[in-house]
Amino acid sequence: MAEQTDLLVLGGGTGGYVSAISAAQAGLNVVLVEQDKLGGTCLHRGCIPTKALLRSAEVYDTIKRSGEFGIEQAETAVVNFQRMQERKQGIVNQLHQGVEELCKKNKIRVLKGTGAVLGPSIFSPVSGAIAVTFNDKSQEEEIIVPKNVIIATGSSPKTLPNLPLDEENILSSDGMLRLENLPQSIMIVGGGVIGVEWASLLNSLGVDVTIVEFFDRLLVNESATISKELKRTFSKKGIKVLLKSKVTEAEIQEGKVKVAIDGQEPLLVEKVMVAIGRSANVERLGLQNTSIKYNEKGIEVNQHYQTTEGHIYAIGDCIDTLQLAHVAMKEGELAVSHLLQQKTEPLNYKNVPRAVYTNPEIASVGYVKENLPEDKKVKFGRFNFSGNGKSLVYGEKAGFVEVIRDLDTDDLLGVSIIGPHATDLISEVSTALYLDASPFEIGEAVHPHPTLSEAIQEAALDTYGKAIHK
Catalytically active residues, by annotation: 449
Closest among 322, 362, 420 to 227, alpha carbons compared: 362
Sheet (strand 240-242) strand order: 170-171, 271-274, 185-189, 208-212, 240-242
CB 215 within 8 A of CB 221: no
DSSP H/E element including 242: strand 240-242
- Do the bridges between strand 271-274 and strand 267-269 make them parallel or antiparallel, or are there none, so unpaired? unpaired
CB 429 within 8 A of CB 436: no
Closest among 458, 402, 392 to 426, alpha carbons compared: 402
Q: Taking each helix axis from N to C terminus, what angle separates 14-25 and 81-105, rounded to the nearest 10 degrees?
A: 30
Please give the Cα distance from 183 to 206 (Å, whole number): 9
Strand partners, 9: 32, 150
Phi, psi (deg, nearest 5) at residue 408: -80, -40
Residue 310, classed as helix, strand or coil, is coil
